[in-house]
Amino acid sequence: MAKDTITVYEKPTCSKCREAAKLLRDNGVEFQKVNYYTQPLTEAKLTELLAKMKLKPRDVMRTGEAVYKELKLSGSSHSDSELVKLMVKHPDLLQRPIVEKGSRAVLGRPTENIETLL
């Protein structure tokens, strides 16, 4: 990936993901989109994105999702590595969109976070 390339990791039906794409288009920014439901993130890639965002796995988990409750993740003692594995296996657990540019990435919630990469 080129240093200045912006990649948006998204779920196309997600309203925040559509807002992110609109923000980038409105600012004349070229970007590529990765639907991580059809092109799943690897554990290595998700770990890399977390490091770039300076966030822990729990920081990007969708705690309101049914799968979060089914897996009893609230207050669990899962390690960061175990949580990453679960997010790769169950992409609904992952907050979105994640926007990456070179050595930096941000969680696009709120959408304004993306402006720090422009």
Asked if residues 47 and 84 have their Cβ atoms less than 8 Å apart, the reply is yes
**Contact present, 53 and 27 (Cβ < 8 Å):** no
| Residue 65 burial (CB count, 10 A) | 15
Residues 6+ apart with CB under 8 A from 39: none
Q: Which of 2, 7, 8, 14 is catalytic?
A: 14
Catalytic: 17? no
111, two tokens: 């959408």
What residues are labeled active site? 14
